[in-house]
Chains A and B, each alone.
Chain A
């Protein structure tokens, strides 16, 4: 067969060019040197997993060793058959299948490739969850302390004739361990909610974007100065080492286009002048500047001197943008607390909600929140527009009340009687 003849010769050629000995390549791919010799001299058919392994070892694409895409397709089909445990006469008919149904064969090969990629992703994520060193160390500390308290408390409760010396000692131990337990629990909650120190370890596209925006302090001088074309925005993205994934770049691109649109309508200098004259109340500013409220909220968040936070969500309630503010946690994973005014505004399009809020367990930090929703995307006849919610968080002015309690996410929220609870908290029922 001409194709196979060519394949063997190409393997030999690539191996010699790579400076590999026949025995070394054979060992690497798990076959005998004599069998590889037969392949290289075109005396054995080659395909399937073996072809892929040889290509991998020679660091070339399988196509480079065969006549082209068709042979690579057959190799992928044969590997799929091997993985599925297919045996017998039918297992040798991959070439016939590819010849008769090339479209279906392509679908099958691509599906196999995608399954393999997804399996690798699942494996990587599972590994990360299982081996997150910080989480593992924190949980170990928590459980060890709980074990000490449980054991000591049982001794105190169940030992009828405990000598005063031992009793005092165990009381002191429990006191010490209960402090440790509180600290360990607080450390875990802080880590699960958000870890500002982990900024260098972005593990999702959203985190990459957050890292990118933080490195620019959420302000882009070039855009403010008029560099708002797609090419100019792409140039900013090209200079962003934080945006490693395609998804992160896509998200950041949308963010920067929004910044450009906002900057074109309301410049930061104009906004600063208005704030100096009217104060920071968004509704007053919107009226004075004849500007829509969502845009005013976003632009206020871009004024670094205000130290404001901003959260934007889409119609599903998924957070698509966050600018963190100390004392108010926006969870990285899982759904946010439904008590946030942001979600109230989603259900009441056009309304602007103002509320003083504070997060449970952070009773001393209050924020003035302003939330509203707006239609996004280009309008179309007879199509209900998509909406997104915007919530600005400003440090609360002193002396105007404590405000309403909200959480971050149910999993780490300590409020036991919450009307909005979706699931138990790990703080009350364990993980």
Chain B
């Protein structure tokens, strides 16, 4: 039984590529395209890893990150944040909010896999 990841990403083709990539690497991937229900889904699924886009419909990645880190049961959950906004301010904000790793788009598949594996090491 592979490890489980919840991928919250509204760009369907990015989600599909990441899903394929991680599935080939032995992960079971659950995808969500809307931020509104992300916290509830993640809490229920209790995955090994969350990959979170920043700009999402329903609720932003930062809001979801705050919700997850405010939950005592999820404080150590590895969270990889993806964003097209690579500004230092966003990175700082994410780090202060407790993100485990921050990646800017566009990223290479190798970078993505290495980041995911590093978070599981």
Contact = CB atoms under 8 A, between A and B. Distances in A.
A173 B109 contact: no
Nearest to B18: A151
A158 B13 CA distance: 18
* From B11, B17, B20, B112, residue with most partner A Cβ within 10 Å: B17
Interface of A is mostly: helix
A169 B12 CA distance: 12
A155 B11 contact: no
Interface stretch (A88-96, A102-110, A136-144, A291-299): A136-144
Interface of A: 130, 136, 139-140, 142-152, 154-155, 158-159, 166, 169-170, 173, 176-177
Contacts of B107: 147, 150-151
A151 B14 contact: yes
A140 B84 CA distance: 5
A147 B106 contact: yes
Given A136-B85, A148-B11, A159-B24, A143 B17 contact: no
29 contacts: A130-B87, A139-B84, A139-B85, A140-B55, A142-B84, A143-B106, A144-B84, A146-B105, A147-B11, A147-B14, A147-B84, A147-B107, A148-B11, A148-B17, A149-B106, A150-B106, A150-B107, A151-B106, A151-B107, A151-B108, A151-B109, A152-B17, A154-B108, A155-B17, A155-B21, A155-B109, A169-B16, A173-B17, A176-B13
Interface in B71-114: 84-85, 87, 104-110, 112
How large, as a class, is the contact surface on chain B? 20 to 34
Interface of B: 11, 13-14, 16-18, 20-21, 24, 55, 84-85, 87, 104-110, 112
A158 B11 contact: no
Contacts of A173: 13, 16-17
A140 B14 contact: no
A143 B14 CA distance: 11
Contacts of B112: 151
A429 B65 CA distance: 33
A14 B71 CA distance: 52
B21 to A, nearest CB: 7
B85 A148 contact: no
A155 B20 contact: yes
B20 A166 contact: yes
A150 B85 contact: no
Contacts of B16: 152, 169-170, 173
A152 B12 CA distance: 12
Contacts of A155: 17, 20-21, 109
B9 to A, nearest CB: 9
A2 to B, nearest CB: 51
B22 to A, nearest CB: 11
B99 to A, nearest CB: 18
Contacts of A139: 84-85
Given A169-B16, A173-B13, A177-B13, A144 B21 contact: no
A146 B105 CA distance: 8
Contact of A144 (B14, B18, B87, B109): B14
